[in-house]
């Protein structure tokens, strides 16, 4: 079973790297395809909104399929899509290349998470998803920054070419070593899965994910541009900065996995509270190495933690349909990612890059207020 989780974690690395590698390549893509940074940022929005719109429905439908074949098929789609991205002659073909993997990501992430929880049991959901989430953190530690470094050295198209090859190799590994069996314990009807949407508490938790990810990606989408234009770093230094940002996320992933099993909403508020000063501190310290490093470190830790905390938080709200609940978090998170990219682009157009940290911090503050309201609602429900 450990091998199964390890393989899914490795596949998750490729899946999430495909979504987020564009963050480090955005300036180069914009220059090569002759569009503005905010226009290139819409590629992030397209991917995220596609996940948000189709993720829950696709996850609910494909939950009945044999997992080994399903996961292999998704990785093959990612390989093809990354090949198209590497060859894209314009922004429109690039948009199609981003659309295809966006359909597979929520299915993979939600069902891989459910598979991991089935292996260890619901009481240790945080620890299980921490192991799956390790692949996601590695995507930010190595995938995104290495993609940035590759793009700086050989061009952004080479980064997508390498991703295509890696996706197909992971598909071969799953075909060879992943057991051909469904590891989840029971089938849940489509009606039962969609029934959890009638819960106001569930909808509140989805809204919380939307707010948190909107706040994070209002600034994170344009982090490479901030480091290039405001800090004056070249592409190589930006790549190493993004690697350091992801590396500290390993600590955030571990902390989040331990805190979320005890009290998901409190864990959300704690990490959001630490993220706010980090976001605000980036711009004032943009020309100070120690200050900028400290701000990015706290931001990186809290961001990685909130990825995991948000995911487990939704699964714990609906233990009767954990995969569908996970897909709702993925949908909410990606809606937030898309909104964050749009909001960040508007902030850049209106007040410039220097306003991103404050706009992001305002959204994270709103997340804390909503989490407090959800705690009150949850306690009343328990009392009743």
Residue 137 vs residue 340, higher pLDDT:
340
pLDDT surpasses 60 at 379: no
Please name which of 253, 264, 322 lies closest in space to residue 113, comparing C-alpha atoms.
322
Low-confidence winner among 43-57, 103-117, 267-281 (lowest mean pLDDT): 103-117
Look at residue 135 and tell me whether its pLDDT is greater than 60.
yes
CB atoms within 10 A of CB 350: 9
Q: Residues 209-222: pLDDT tens digits?
A: 999 999 999 999 89
Measured CA angle at 174 (ends 172, 176), to 5 deg: 70
Which pLDDT value is given to residue 123? 61
Q: Give pLDDT tens digits for 8-49.
A: 888 888 998 998 888 889 889 999 999 998 888 889 889 988
pLDDT computed for residue 365 by the predictor: 97
Model's pTM, two decimal places? 0.78
Cα 300 to Cα 279: distance, rounded to the nearest angstrom = 10
**Residue showing tokens 């100070």:** 288
Closest CA to 109 of 17, 197, 198, 190: 17
Residue with tokens 């002759």: 34
> pLDDT tens for residues 65-124?
888 889 999 999 999 999 999 999 999 999 999 999 999 998 888 788 777 666 666 666
CA distance 179 to 67: 9
- Reading the block at residue 10, the tokens are 């490795």
Are the beta carbons of 174 and 73 closer than 8 angstroms? no
Task: Give mean pLDDT, residues 264-269.
Answer: 93
Q: Mean pLDDT, the chain, as a whole number?
A: 86
Using CA atoms, how far apart are residues 211 and 221, in angstroms rounded to an integer?
15
As a whole number, mean pLDDT of residues 309-319 equals 83
Count the neighbouring beta carbons within 10 Å of the beta carbon of residue 290: 8
Looking at the chain, list the stretches that DSSP marks H as alpha helix, in order from N- to C-terminal side.
2-32, 37-62, 67-87, 91-120, 125-138, 144-154, 156-177, 190-195, 200-220, 223-229, 235-247, 249-259, 264-282, 289-317, 322-350, 356-383
Mean predicted confidence (pLDDT) in 154-182: 88
Distance CA 275, CA 280 (A): 9
Chain CA centroid to CA 364, Å: 16
Predicted confidence at residue 143, as pLDDT, reads 78
The DSSP symbol for 140 reads I
pLDDT for 226-266, tens place per residue? Answer: 999 999 998 888 888 888 888 888 888 888 878 887 788 99
Q: What percent of the chain has pLDDT over 90?
A: 43
């Amino acid at each position: 079973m450990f091998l199964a989780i390890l393989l899914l974690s490795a596949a998750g690395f490729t899946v999430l790297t495909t979504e987020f590698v564009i963050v480090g390549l955005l300036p180069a893509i914009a220059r090569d395809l002759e569009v503005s940074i905010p226009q290139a940022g819409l590629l992030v929005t397209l991917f995220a909104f596609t996940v948000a719109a189709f993720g829950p429905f696709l996850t609910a439908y494909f939950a009945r399929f044999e997992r080994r074949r399903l996961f292999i098929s998704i990785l093959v789609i990612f390989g093809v899509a990354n090949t198209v991205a590497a060859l894209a002659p314009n922004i429109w073909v690039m948009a199609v290349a981003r659309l295809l993997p966006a359909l597979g990501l929520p299915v993979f992430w939600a069902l891989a998470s459910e598979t991991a929880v089935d292996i260890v049991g619901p009481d240790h959901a945080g620890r299980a998803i921490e192991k799956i989430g390790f692949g996601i953190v590695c995507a930010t530690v190595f995938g995104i920054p290495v993609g940035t470094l590759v793009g700086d050295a050989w061009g952004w198209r080479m980064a997508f070419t390498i991703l295509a090859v890696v996706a197909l190799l992971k598909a071969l590994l799953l075909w060879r070593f992943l057991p051909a069996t469904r590891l989840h314990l029971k089938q849940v009807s489509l009606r039962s899965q969609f029934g959890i949407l009638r819960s106001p508490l569930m909808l509140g938790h989805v809204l919380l994910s939307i707010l948190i990810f909107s706040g994070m990606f209002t600034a994170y989408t344009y982090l490479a541009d901030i480091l290039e234009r405001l800090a004056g770093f070249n592409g190589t230094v930006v790549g190493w900065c993004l690697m350091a940002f992801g590396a500290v996320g390993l600590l955030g992933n571990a902390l989040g996995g331990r805190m979320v099993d005890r009290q998901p909403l409190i864990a959300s508020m704690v990490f959001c509270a630490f993220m706010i000063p980090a976001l605000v501190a980036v711009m004032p310290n943009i020309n100070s190495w120690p200050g900028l490093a400290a701000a990015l470190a706290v931001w990186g830790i809290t961001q990685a933690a909130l990825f995991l905390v948000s995911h487990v938080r939704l699964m714990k709200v609906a233990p009767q349909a954990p995969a569908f609940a996970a897909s709702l978090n993925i949908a909410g998170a990606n809606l937030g990612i898309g909104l964050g990219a749009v909001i960040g682009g508007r902030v850049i157009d209106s007040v410039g890059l220097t306003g991103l940290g404050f706009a992001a911090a305002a959204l994270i503050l709103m997340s804390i207020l909503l989490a407090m309201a959800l705690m009150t609602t949850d306690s009343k429900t328990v009392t009743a």
